[in-house]
Homo-oligomer: A and B are copies of this chain.
Amino acid sequence: MNKIILLIHCPDQQGIIAKVTNLIAESKGNTVYLEQHVDTDEGAFFMRLECEFLPESKVLELFKKRFSEEIAIPNKMEWQMFDPSVTPKMAIFVSKYSHCLYDILGRHAAGELDVDIPIIISNHKDMAEVAANFQIPYAYIPVNKSNKIEAEAKQIELLKKKKVDFIVLARYMQILSGDFVNHYTNKVINIHHSFLPAFPGAKPYHSAHNRGVKIIGATSHYVTSDLDEGPIIEQEVVKVTHTHSVNDFIAKGRDVEKIVLSRGIKHHIKRKVLVYNNKTVVFD
């Protein structure tokens, strides 16, 4: 059978579930899984379907055509269709901190992440050996104030050459330009080491310690041109007490960062995430 994943977003309206599932049935397809959400405040409708179609020639092609013409266009629908048998290509950006990189590469090696990793890009040389140990190409592209535009051009050229589908910033300490981000809308996943919107910007663990909070956390989110303001995919926290120093916050926070980032990556890979109004619908 040919499988597809269908993500739908449109103004809420009567009978939309019936229309879609009916067309699938008429097209000799089967709706294996359906998840749906209505944001009643916004009048917005969201749906994620996993479907199977007969592997006959043109069955799927015909469905796409009819879906577009008979459902998507008249209902002002934004939609995406994915073939789950195609493995997405993920680039990792990293600077000097190794814990998120080790975590992602360890999960990948253990078979937990269904992606290809054609390239690791860094503004430092420090992680080259880690990449080598995991047999992954490593590109050292230094970035500073004067060469940022050229550096990003190099990065994008490399990403295109490697046919990268999405990017993970594994504690990459550079801010991407709006131009760069526009090339990869909702395709750059960052890990921020606080539970946003608390403690945006630099040194959140220090700020948290200074404020005397009893909980610290991490946030994975899609990168937008507003720093630390993009749509949140996942958040997790861990308790702290007065006995913990800033270094303890950092050490405890690492575990949360790793988990939150890897969950964000998994949701993205499985096509579970829809973005609207700078928020996410995560069908988990």
Contact = CB atoms under 8 A, between A and B. Distances in A.
Contact of A284 (B37, B196, B198, B241): B241
A233 B18 CA distance: 30
Contacts of A109: 98, 102, 130
A60 interface: no
A272 B138 CA distance: 40
A213 B192 CA distance: 13
Contact of A255 (B31, B98, B134, B259): B259
A21 interface: yes
Interface in A104-132: 106-107, 109-110, 112, 130
Binding site of A, secondary structure by majority: helix, strand, loop or mixed? mixed
Contacts of A40: 245
A129 B271 CA distance: 33
Interface stretch (A61-69, A143-151, A159-167, A274-282): A274-282
A237 interface: yes
Contacts of A233: 214
A281 B99 contact: no
A106 B110 contact: no
Interface string A255-284: 100010010000000000000011111101
Given A17-B31, A21-B22, A35-B35, 5 more contacts: A32-B38, A39-B242, A98-B109, A99-B110, A102-B110
